[in-house]
Amino acid sequence: MRADVIIVGSGAAGLTAALALAERLKVLVLAKGELTSGSTAWAQGGIAAVLDAGDTFEDHIRDTMVAGAGLNRQQTVEFVVERAPHAIDRLIGLGVPFNTAMDDSGGDALHLTREGGHSHRRIVHVDDATGWAVQAALLAAVEANPNITLMPGQACIDLITGRHELRYSGSGRVWGVYALDEATGRVEAHTASATILATGGAGRVYQFSTAPRGATGDGIAMAWRAGARVSNMEMMQFHPTCLYNLDVKNFLVTEAVRGEGGRLINPRTGKRFMPFYDDRLELAPRDVVARAIDSEIKRFGLDYVHLDISHMPADFVRSHFPNIHEKLLGLGIDMTREPIPVVPAQHYTCGGIVTDLHGHTDLPGLYAAGECAESGLHGANRLASNSLLECLVFGEAAASDILARWGEFEAPPPVCAWDESRVSNSDEEVIIKQNWTEIRRFMWNYVGIVRSTKRLERAQHRIRMLFEEVEDYYGQFRVTTDLIELRNLLQSADLIVRSALKRHESRGLHYTLDYPEALPQARDTVLVPGMGRSKGR
């Protein structure tokens, strides 16, 4: 199909961009699986914005930079924080029913909850299922817009670049994507003058992750293969409180539980342990809390720690966390009366495709927004609830830039069709499953919360061997979504490990036993393509 602009991804970043662009342009949104299959629909806690009279932009900026251990780009932090109230207004305009509470003068005001690393109450939310409400409102607006075509069930494989032009022009531009139609198994070229990657994170590279199944780093890997730089991929965020349950492996228990009084308890000693680690207690930034839990688990040989909010009135707990309460009841845990077993799990990809304040990547015609991008907002550790905000601000920023410069964009040229002449149907799907499991396991064990050079080198060794196997398989067989994801998962793992090996210090989310101190100056880890191993078709 041909459009003015192609957006890959139907989460908060992609749909925000689509709505803004559709004022004047024809937009095609492609999404793997269902339209609600990204992380956006799963977000619980809320969206950070300065909306309280006692709060200031300066405080939100400072909290973001403190959490990010100084690796953030200050200009980006200011850009995003200052646009937050407007982004929330837009969502309210689309009908997102944020919770309200009575203010001092007896009127209705947005209810603001609190999360780790925030010096004020500043998180707007819809109960404990904010993401679902945001996703639903954006989707309803997009579905009603005649300038937007939504195509779910499209697993994008690679970007179409200058080298795929039928008559090579040397323009070096990105002209769209090759995508697998998951229903028919056919690969189509979709072309456009501009392409926005809004493909979310790479959380599924880890064995335990709160992220949905499709968070396999596809956009990051596609941009890297096409020649864009990526940065700070070692900064993988682990959420401190994922439910510990042998059957339900990735259910998040929102940080707002701690924001509203929840305490972390060592089940062996029965003692609250955060006072031993940080003055900010349970509301220290995530990297600090996750490391504290990891340390308790390792020191005491525990399977999990307890998160306890049962000292608060039962009505308060039920009304603030209705969905979590119900989910846990179904698993036999009544959080109004007993503690919740929790463990840290991968949660957010702070690094990604290098972008500027307009969402530009290194490649002409290619933009990136949301979790797949490294805009400079999060630095070495994302402040809670700054992520949906980043999607809203940069979805809009990328769209504004395209609209403002539309006269400069050329129409896409004819491009090569996808070449399947040398491949056949796979007869060994087991290889995909085996490799997928192997990557996720060694990434968890060797590239987790606490790292060492030796463990990182072990991971790198395995990645090198798997590259050969996966590329060989990719070169021989027809693509499937599983194969596309495996290839991207492996590429993401490689970028994470290479970045981690390059950082000779501990900062934010990257903690290594070999370099336990932070260096005096914070520097981004920027990987430049050219040494990537993927061949592509």
* C-beta separation of 228 from 362 below 8 A: yes
Please name the residue ranges forming H helices in 51-150.
57-67, 74-93, 130-143
Q: Does 492 bind ligand SIN (CB under 6 A)?
A: no
Q: Which residue in the list 204, 225, 229, 286 is annotated as catalytic?
A: 286
DSSP secondary structure, 466-503, as one string:
HHHHHHHHHHHB---HHHHHHHHHHHHHHHHHHHHHH-
Exactly one of 254, 361, 381, 499 binds ligand SIN (CB under 6 A); which one? Answer: 254
3-state secondary structure of 322: helix
**Which stretch in 252-260, 330-338, 497-505, 523-531 sits in contact with ligand SIN by CB under 6 A?**
252-260
Distance CA 257, CA 147 (A): 41
CB 174 within 8 A of CB 353: no
Task: Let me know if 286 is a catalytic residue.
Answer: yes
Closest approach, Cβ 527 to ligand FAD, in A, equals 20
Site residues (CB under 6 A) for ligand FAD, limited to 347-366: 348
Give the number of other Cβ atoms within 10 Å of residue 113's Cβ.
Answer: 23
For the segment 422-481, give every residue that binds ligand FAD (CB under 6 A).
none
Binding mask 363-392 for ligand FAD (x = CB under 6 A): -------xx-------------xxxx--x-
Select the span of 31-39, 162-170, 326-334, 511-519 touching ligand FAD (CB under 6 A): 31-39
Q: Which of 5, 6, 7, 8 binds ligand FAD (CB under 6 A)?
A: 8
Q: Which of 13, 222, 384, 415 binds ligand SIN (CB under 6 A)?
A: 384
Residues facing 127 on adjacent strands:
none
Span from 45-53, 58-66, 164-172, 426-434 in contact with ligand FAD (CB under 6 A) = 45-53
Question: CB under 5 to 8 A by kind: which of ligand SIN, ligand FAD, none does 413 bind?
Answer: none
135 binds ligand SIN (CB under 6 A): no
Instruction: Count CB-CB contacts under 10 A for residue 271.
Output: 12
Chain center to CA of 419: 32
Q: List all residues 6 or more positions away from 496 whose beta carbon is below 8 Å from its beta carbon.
A: 202, 205, 233, 234, 236, 351, 443, 447
Task: Output the CA torsion 87→90→96→97 (10° steps).
Answer: 90
Q: Which of 255, 282, 287, 485 binds ligand SIN (CB under 6 A)?
A: 255
Phi, psi dihedrals of residue 513, rounded to the nearest 5°: -65, -25
**Rounded CA gap, 190 and 178, in Å?**
6
Among 3, 5, 11, 76, binds ligand FAD (CB under 6 A): 11
Q: Of residues 45, 68, 352, 508, which one binds ligand FAD by CB under 6 A?
A: 45
Among 11, 38, 45, 365, binds ligand SIN (CB under 6 A): 45
Interface with ligand FAD (CB under 6 A): 8-14, 30-33, 37-40, 42-47, 130-131, 154-156, 198-200, 210-211, 214, 218, 252, 348, 370-371, 385-388, 391
Catalytic residue IDs = 286
